[in-house]
Structure 1
Amino acid sequence: MDLLKELTEANGAPGFEKPIRQIMKREIEKTGAKTVSDRLGSIFGEKCGSENGPKILLAGHMDEVAFMVSEITKDGYLRFVPLGGWWDQVLLAQRVKVMTKDKEFTGVIGSKPPHILQAEELKKVYPMREMFIDIGANDKDQVKQWGIKVGDPIIPICPFELLPDNDTILAKALDNRAGCYLALEVLKQIREINHSNTVYCGATVQEEVGLRGAATAPYIMEPDLSIAVDVGIAQDGPSDNSNKAKLGSGPLITFLDSSLIPHISLRDLVIEIAEKNSIPYQVDIMLGGGTDAGRFHLFKKGVPTIVIGVAARYIHSHVSMISKKDLENSAKLLTELIKELDANRFNQLFN
């Protein structure tokens, strides 16, 4: 878990993914794969198989939901705007780090105290636009002396922890450092197997603000097939959600989201491989949300695409949870899929 800990505790707001990219580059180079990247910062390891099979893109995304400093008040408080999708209700009293060029500053998200709110205000979700970040500064001049500027990224604080069941992982940014981890793990595993494909394992940038890296990354390799590796929504809280995704029940295969209906023959092949190899799996049908797959499948004349990942609790907040067992089974499923997809099996997808 050391690598996943490092990935989640590193800071990578959309547009500020450099610390994550450095970890990805280091780990890709360890596998002996060729490193390729686009001009926005997406990075992949290229691993060629033994024959002229299809080109497979397997991608997580490096960025996490975060914030940006939008204003410094005369009293030294910071106003901020979201980078990615946040629900205002999860923000108050949470700790954050303001990232300058040379230093980090810890702050807390504050608001008007509840003791002085009117009764009707107490019944409403407090809006983000009225929140601020308190970094303990006396005034605007002190903030300036510390080097904090409008445009600096702000990152949630949550240390990595493996919980007592030795399976549940608690951390920030599992959306989508889990996908980054899986891309690296698959790249390591395919060194040890025979396959006929050219595989690109890595991660994009700026997924949380509009799938932007996913629009440029395919031009690096012009893939024949793509797999977005991301997290899905676990719905295993204290209610009757027995048919919904849950932690520990296997990889999550997306059948529908707001940006993608997967290539049906590819979807069926993934399920066939999971069942043949006794890999537990779950199905995700979600009308809201989307992943990089929404862009990948529209590249040029079309790319057969699917989303495979893990169920996660509490994403798009300061903290999230996934299952270590789900990570292991997802890596196994992705590796088996790469083994199966030679040129003949790929061509059968279109019959």
Structure 2
Amino acid sequence: MNKRERLLKKLTEAWGPSGFESDVASIISEELAPVGKLSRDKLGSVIAVQEGRTKRGPRIMLAAHMDEVGFMVQQITKEGYLRFLALGGWSPRAMPSMRVLIRTHTGKDVVGVVGFKPPHELGPEERKKPIELKDLHIDVGAIDKYDVKKELGIRVGDPIAPVTQFVPMTNKEMYLAKAWDDRSGCALMVEAMQEFAETKHPNTVIGVGTVQEEVGLRGAQTSGHAVKPDLALAIDVALARDTPGYREDTDCRMGAGAAILAYDSTMIPNLALRDLAVDVAEEEGIPYQVTTLRGGYDTGRIHIQREGVPSLALGVPTRYAHSTESVIHRKDYESALRLIVALVERLDRRTVDKVVTR
């Protein structure tokens, strides 16, 4: 396993649902400490400031969210099962048989599994009915409510996240793991900051690991206010639409390059910045694809800070996002890193001023 794969493994296997990102923040802080001046905002986002060849250069924010979709204990039944609510956008169809880890208020980790009535016991009407969150429970191997609360230390409000392992797939080109949304973006932000430390870029680059993106882009709002960027890039995932059920001519496919987002539900990107990203990709021979998303990115909050911040989202095409396992392609990750580095190196004061005024 090479250095990059070790970083990806460490980040994807880290436990960190929305609002409980401290494990991921520790990893990112350790990686960024040698290449930037570290701080935290009061919501918990990690901020690393790295000056380039001039202190008067524009401030470029690279935002990648540290949180993953997860759950929270909502109720403990008298039989010792956990009812739970979702932190972020889940499909209940992806939940049955999921192995999870509950972290108690004392810091103890408890393993459980999402339970659902087996198919043998489903009646004709139940088989037709979509699975709902209320139909599910988490089994932690307890015998009753007392056992859950007193022996295991679990209480209402304790956070939950899936437990899986990072695995290079058979052809070595694809990686299987949980939480590519957005640990892939975290890794890209870290690697980009490390590359910039070896160059004299024409700006101040601010790498930010944001919190609570999956529950409303909250860390983006606070860190964007703290950082005061002149321009911002969100580094996140895009949805790969190359699996059964999509048309053959759909955009955003695995292995076809970095994703440049032309639209998402929270932001229409700065058009000059979007066009610049496309131009840079073509001039540098970087594979790319332009796509859209019905969800949102951190730039949805950053671009409306102060008088407005020119912003763009870049992503790694990902299959099966917001589930217990998802897949990315090594070449798409590499293309995204090349594009981020090449684009930021073009963003001197003159270029940023043109983007703002166009």
TM band (smaller chain): over 0.9
Identity percentage of aligned residues: 44
Aligned residue runs from structure 1 range 87-98, under 5 A = 87-98=91-102
Instruction: Kindly indicate whether the alpha-carbon contact (under 8 Å) linking 2:99 and 2:111 is maintained by their aligned counterparts in 1.
Output: yes
Partner-residue secondary structure (3-state), 2:33: helix
Does residue 45 of structure 2 align to residue 38 of structure 1? no
Q: Which residue of 1 aligns with 2:50?
A: 47
Partner-residue secondary structure (3-state), 1:192: coil
Q: Which residue of 2 aligns with 1:320?
A: 326
Choose 113-122 or 84-93, whichever is displaced more. 113-122
Distance 2:217 2:208 in 1: 15
Distance 1:241 1:290 in 2: 25
Distance 1:269 1:42 in 2: 28
| Runs of 4+ with >3 A deviation | none
Instruction: Kindly indicate whether the alpha-carbon contact (under 8 Å) linking 2:41 and 2:47 is maintained by their aligned counterparts in 1.
Output: no
Shift of the alpha carbon at 1:53?
A: 1.5
Deviations 1:238-269 (A, max 9, x none): 35333411111111000011111100000011
Distance 2:249 2:207 in 1: 33
Partner-residue secondary structure (3-state), 1:227: strand
Q: Which residue of 2 aligns with 1:84?
A: 88
Instruction: Kindly indicate whether the alpha-carbon contact (under 8 Å) linking 2:242 and 2:250 is maintained by their aligned counterparts in 1.
Output: no
Instruction: Kindly indicate whether the alpha-carbon contact (under 8 Å) linking 2:88 and 2:214 is maintained by their aligned counterparts in 1.
Output: yes
Shift of the alpha carbon at 1:36?
A: 2.3
Q: Which residue of 2 aligns with 1:278?
A: 285
Q: Which residue of 2 aligns with 1:241?
A: 248
Distance 1:80 1:48 in 2: 44
CA RMSD of aligned residues (A): 1.1
Does residue 144 of structure 2 align to residue 139 of structure 1? yes
Instruction: Kindly indicate whether the alpha-carbon contact (under 8 Å) linking 2:16 and 2:66 is maintained by their aligned counterparts in 1.
Output: yes
Distance 1:54 1:241 in 2: 42
Distance 1:174 1:183 in 2: 13
Q: Which residue of 2 aligns with 1:6?
A: 10
Partner-residue secondary structure (3-state), 1:24: helix
Counterpart residue type for residue 245 of structure 1: C
Unaligned runs of 5+ residues in structure 1 are none
Instruction: Kindly indicate whether the alpha-carbon contact (under 8 Å) linking 1:37 and 1:220 is maintained by their aligned counterparts in 2.
Output: no
> Residue 304 of structure 2: which of 298, 302, 311 is its match?
298
Q: Which residue of 2 aligns with 1:122?
A: 127
Instruction: Kindly indicate whether the alpha-carbon contact (under 8 Å) linking 1:24 and 1:202 is maintained by their aligned counterparts in 2.
Output: no
Q: Which residue of 2 aligns with 1:251?
A: 258
Instruction: Kindly indicate whether the alpha-carbon contact (under 8 Å) linking 1:36 and 1:220 is maintained by their aligned counterparts in 2.
Output: no
> Residue 160 of structure 1: which of 144, 162, 166 is its match?
166
Deviations 1:138-194 (A, max 9, x none): 111111111111111111122100112111010001100011101100000111222
Deviations 1:3-41 (A, max 9, x none): 11001101001110000000111001132x101221000
Instruction: Kindly indicate whether the alpha-carbon contact (under 8 Å) linking 2:232 and 2:311 is maintained by their aligned counterparts in 1.
Output: yes
Distance 1:299 1:228 in 2: 14
Q: Which residue of 2 aligns with 1:266?
A: 273
Distance 2:119 2:168 in 1: 34
Counterpart residue type for residue 80 of structure 1: F
Partner-residue secondary structure (3-state), 2:181: helix
TM-score where L is the length of structure 2: 0.95
Does residue 23 of structure 2 align to residue 19 of structure 1? yes
Does residue 178 of structure 2 align to residue 172 of structure 1? yes
Instruction: Kindly indicate whether the alpha-carbon contact (under 8 Å) linking 1:28 and 1:44 is maintained by their aligned counterparts in 2.
Output: no
Equivalences, count: 349
TM-score where L is the length of structure 1: 0.97
Unaligned runs of 5+ residues in structure 2 are none
Distance 1:234 1:317 in 2: 14
Deviations 1:108-149 (A, max 9, x none): 111233333321111111211121101111111111111111
Distance 2:40 2:343 in 1: 24
Counterpart residue type for residue 326 of structure 2: S
Distance 1:30 1:326 in 2: 27
